[in-house]
Amino acid sequence: MKKYFLFLTVLCFHFYTYAQQDAWVYFIDKPNVSASIANPTTILTQKAIDRKSRHNITIDARDVPVNESYIAQLKMQTGITVYAKSKWFNAVHVRGSETNIKALINLAFVNQIEFADKSINTSKPFKDKAISKLESVSTTYNYGNALNQIEMFNGDKLHALNYTGTGVTVAVLDAGFPKVNTMSAFAKLRNEGRLLNDYDFVNRDNDVYTNTTSNHGTLVLSDMAAYIENQFVGTAPNASYYLFITEDATSENPVEESYWVEAAERADSLGVDIINTSLGYKDYGPTYSSYTYSDSELDGKTAYITKGANIAFEKGIMLVVSAGNSGNDGVGAPADSQYVLSIGAVKASGDYATFSSVGSAIQPSQKPDVVAQGQASYVITENDVITTANGTSFSSPILAGGIACLMQALPNSTNAEIMELVKASASLYTTPNYQLGYGIPDLDKALSSALSSTDATDVIDNVKLYPNPSQEFVFIDLPNLKAEANIRFYDVLGKLVLNHTVNQELNKIDVLNLSLGLYIVKIESSKKSITLKFIKD
């Protein structure tokens, strides 16, 4: 019996040591950082540079690509396969045995290794865990069956004002887009040159259309971009689109989070305005650790994909994400982030759809944020058939298209300002709950609110807020102001957190007690106003 037990012990140890593990390997540096930042066209498209400039977003080291020679050396190591890379995290996702992965720390350019299996990370608390799965002109349109789902948030009123998404770029990160390149429902999109590009980060090729594993992305895209005259109109029929596969529908694997971050980075480089993600990550099979509420892991800052989403927001991208289809089991990642607009689902009547994931006090902000029709949503299949489907996978793109139209109408508004406008317009803004969040938005109301509070011909000139970012104090330089100005700091939820009166002599503001993160700063005199962004670090 003792020999048998010893044999099993040795066998289990052998299996544990050589079983395949997933991990993130972080590098110590990047090449040519200063030169790249000084010449940003070498690392970003002009559209991306223009978007960052328009919203006062700094181009920094995170925009610089990962050192490819480091990746090449990793690929040469025993038993190591590289699956994805991230310039934002200066890291790559690898797979191999625990022993082989741990050996990578001996490479001079490796700074840190974190395993997807949190039990292996004994040196410090695990922070970057992983998970996966699908969240199973005056313009007059005949929306057909899709009428209710756009009327619900008054997106049709924006269309009537010629705000149909023109000039706004959307990246759809999903699981597969079969026949989008041939379907009649997307003929208008293709013929007008607004189907910009695509990439499959799972299979590492440019074919996202013959994917037979999942038609999920095709259904999602139809709610935004499809057009069949007198039968169906998506919520942003004139926007432009990138299609990226980041989800492997055949498996449950943490590498899919890394694919997502990689795609988000590419979207940022391409100057994308909105990312729609009808994906959610929470539960894995027995092979990998799942996120749990008991460990407070869905807290808006722990999951690898959530941290990537937070950076994407900081880069100026508007993120619209499915809240999930887990009901009382709660939202997943990246829907837990305070920097993404998490969309729950309602029925055509506006009542709560029972499968829609609910929020909790663990999230740092109200989740879900808002809701749209996700039960019996009308979609178009890869066979050009109009049908219905259930899921926050569809409430998310339905509303994302509407937000694209709002962004067209308000081209100078930041992603944080758009988020606040959408939430402030919603039906339950003053009485939110964990099922419906702030409720059903009214995008026509959001647009009216923004326009009524903005006077483009009457602004304060040459205002400076510095240092930015800052830890303790900021100064407001108001060279042209003769009297006093009121300075208000709002967090990303639109909550007023700091209120000061300043003039040219008294212009120092204490921000030491503010929490870390992004703030909207509104500077108002008796007749003039301006809005800036501030980062507390």
Which residues are tagged catalytic? 174, 216, 393
Contacts 24+ apart (CB under 8 A), 506-513: 507/475, 507/476, 507/477, 507/478, 508/473, 508/474, 508/475, 509/473, 509/474, 509/475, 509/476, 510/472, 510/473, 511/470, 511/471, 511/472, 511/473, 511/474, 511/536, 512/471, 512/472, 512/473
Give DSSP secondary structure letters for 75-112.
Answer: HTSTT-EEEEEETTTTEEEEEEEHHHHHGGGGSTTEEE
Q: Cβ(224)–Cβ(276) under 8 Å? A: yes
Which of 181, 214, 220, 186 has its CA nearest to residue 198? Answer: 181
| CA–CA dist 412, 54 (Å, integer) | 7
- Residues 6 or more apart in contact with residue 431 via CB below 8 angstroms: none
Q: What is the CA radius of gyration of the chain?
A: 24
- Residues 6 or more apart in contact with residue 204 via CB below 8 angstroms: none
| CA–CA dist 169, 314 (Å, integer) | 17
Bridge-based pairing of strands 386-389 and 485-490 is: unpaired
| CA–CA dist 216, 330 (Å, integer) | 22
CA distances from 484 to 224, 487, 489, 515 (A): 46, 10, 17, 27
| CA–CA dist 221, 199 (Å, integer) | 15
Token representation of residue 22: 């997933």
Give DSSP secondary structure letters for 351-386.
Answer: PBPTTSPP--TTSSS-SS-EEEE-SSEEEE-TTS-E
Dihedral through CA 495, CA 468, CA 517, CA 56, nearest 10? Answer: 80
| CA–CA dist 264, 217 (Å, integer) | 16
- Any idea which residue has 């204490």 for tokens? 510
- Residues 6 or more apart in contact with residue 20 via CB below 8 angstroms: 95, 96, 97
- Any idea which residue has 């379907």 for tokens? 183
User: Residue 536 forms beta bridges with which residues?
Assistant: 470, 517
Helix (H, G, I), strand (E, B) or coil at 432: coil
Greatest CA separation found in the chain?
91
Which of 241, 165, 157, 158 has its CA nearest to residue 199? Answer: 241
